[in-house]
Structure 1
Amino acid sequence: MKTVALASIGLGGLAIIACLFLEDIDPKKTPKIEIFLEYDVHADKNEFHE
């Protein structure tokens, strides 16, 4: 059980360090909705999903 706890701490620390190297995605975000949910009231607006 101690080995599992130490491994999870190590992998968690590695994940936090990896997050520091991610690029900023703000320029790629837009308010436009490309795909609506299948049972949404706007589902008829989908171009590619029938």
Structure 2
Amino acid sequence: MNKNVNKDNNELFMNRKEQIIEKAKILFYKNGYDNTSMRELSKATGLSV
């Protein structure tokens, strides 16, 4: 069971990581890297700062 839990957690982590990266790409394209804040990224991803 422990291996399954670790595998599930790893998959969830990787999915969330990909979601964050995709939102960051969109914001960087829209605003530019230097003009994108962590606050904007957290709002777009639903994460807290």
**TM-score if structure 2 supplies the norm length?**
0.44
Max Rg structure: 1
Q: Comparing both chains, which one has the higher relative contact order based on Cα–Cα distances under 8 Å and sequence gaps of 6 or more?
A: 2
TM-score, normalised by the number of residues in structure 1? 0.43
Higher helix share: 2
